Amino acid sequence: MALGSGAGAVVFYPADRDLDAWAERHAAGAAPDRWPYGLDRLEAHIAGVVSKSLPAATPIARAARRVIGVLPPGRRASNPVGVTWDENAGALLATTTGLSARYSGVVWVTDSVTRRGGEQFASLRRALRRMDGLWVLSDAQVAPLTAFLGEGAPPVHYVRFGVDQDFFRPTPYPTRPLVVSVGGDRDRDPETLLHAMATLRRVRPDVEIVVQSRTSIDPPAGVSVVPYLSHAELRDLYARASVVAIATRANLHVSGMTVGLEAMATGRPLVITRTPGMDDYFGGTSAARMVEVGDGDALARETLRLLDDPVAGAAAGEAARARVAGGFTTAHLAARVAEVITRR
């Protein structure tokens, strides 16, 4: 796929992201940021930024990319820079022609390689080595990704994540107790979470609990599990929450940080599993409390402490909003990504 000439940057998204539908939801106030992950905010740092969908992976397209993939990546200075959010889209960007440079985020492969070895990810390794720069969202990912890519690979940068503080706006702290947990990525820990929620309900049967998850585990009595929430539904649920609690397994990509920052932007305290890189987001603040991996009793205990002291919970919520506004918005994220791109 070739691009026309001209300076600037093209932010590429997978075809199934449906950028038109996203834009419509955003215009209606039902989705954060104008583009996913707030990368439209690159416009504040780079002139001529546009978004574009990557082509669907048809058999013909895959064959063409295999041919292109054995050629050196073309780089014409007069052409735009190509940018993608994660390594799956980055694998397609690696063989997108008509660009001056290519940059991609990396989310999942560091954990996959750590757990299963790098041999089965050889094609992804080749694709990422064609980039001009890569970024990760956890400082714990830098060393394993650098080792996986090998000598002569593009530089790996640590870029802290951010959320849309205008969409996830602060609301008054609620009077009715509600605990919320959200998220279903591969490193969430529903067993530990539901154990903690069962303990909590035994102590405080008056507390409402809502968990968004696709887990097949039967929830404890008094715990409502929903498989999916839209952005607008999620925002409204945060607004009703007293505490947001997240349990994750050991991982390097800071699973849970998106929900944690969204909840904090709404002005809600957070209880979350401590994993590598998590302190950079939630350490050193009264807004968040961290517990060890697999410790459902501690998760329940810290959540109960906030529920039992609504004044402290409200104060933690105020600190949470200030924490996000001070360095973890999509405006901050875009500035950090722009720094990676313009560092050439």
- Domain harbouring 129, CATH code: 3.40.50
Q: Give the model's pLDDT for residue 6.
A: 47
4 has pLDDT over 50? no
- Do residues 96 and 111 share a domain? yes
Instruction: Read off the pLDDT band of 38 (50, 70, 90).
Output: very high
- Do residues 20 and 143 share a domain? yes
Per residue in 115-140, pLDDT (tens digit) is 988 888 999 999 999 999 999 999 99
Residue 240 is assigned to a structural domain of this protein: yes
- Do residues 187 and 149 share a domain? no
- Own/partner long-range contacts of 96-100 (Cβ < 8 Å, ≥24 apart): 96/1, 96/3, 96/12, 96/54, 97/1, 97/2, 97/3, 97/68, 98/1, 98/2, 98/3, 98/4, 98/5, 98/74, 99/3, 99/10, 99/74, 99/75, 100/75, 100/76
- Which CATH number goes with the domain that contains 214? 3.40.50.2000
75 has pLDDT over 70? no
Burial class of residue 151, CB neighbours in 10 A (0-12, 13-18, 19+) = exposed
Cα 15 vs. chain centroid, distance in angstroms?
19
Q: What is the mean pLDDT of residues 280-296?
A: 97
Instruction: Read off the pLDDT band of 78 (50, 70, 90).
Output: confident
Count CB-CB contacts under 10 A for residue 214: 11
Residue 172 is assigned to a structural domain of this protein: no
Q: Give the model's pLDDT for residue 62.
A: 53
1 has pLDDT over 50? no
170 has pLDDT over 80? yes
Average pLDDT, the chain: 92
Which DSSP state fits 71?
A: S
Q: What is the mean pLDDT of residues 200-213?
A: 97
- Do residues 82 and 104 share a domain? yes
Q: What is the mean pLDDT of residues 156-182?
A: 98
84 has pLDDT over 80? yes
- Do residues 264 and 239 share a domain? yes
Longest dimension (CA), the chain: 65
Please tell me the total count of domains within the chain: 2
- Do residues 65 and 151 share a domain? yes
Instruction: Read off the pLDDT band of 57 (50, 70, 90).
Output: low
Could you tell me which residues are beta bridge partners of residue 102?
A: 82
Instruction: Read off the pLDDT band of 233 (50, 70, 90).
Output: very high
Q: Give the model's pLDDT for residue 56.
A: 74
- Do residues 302 and 334 share a domain? no
For 143, the token pair is 């060393």
Residue 1 is assigned to a structural domain of this protein: no
Residue 171 is assigned to a structural domain of this protein: no
Q: What is the mean pLDDT of residues 233-256?
A: 98
Residue 2 is assigned to a structural domain of this protein: no
Q: Give the model's pLDDT for residue 74.
A: 63
pTM of the model: 0.93
The three-class DSSP label of residue 3 is: coil
For 167, the token pair is 């969409």
Q: What is the mean pLDDT of residues 17-33?
A: 96
CA distance 269 to 289: 8
Beta strands in the chain (DSSP E): 9-13, 49-53, 81-84, 101-105, 133-136, 156-158, 178-182, 208-212, 223-226, 243-246, 270-273, 288-291
Q: Give the model's pLDDT for residue 60.
A: 45
- Selected residue with higher pLDDT from 6 and 336: 336
Owning domain of residue 274: 178-325
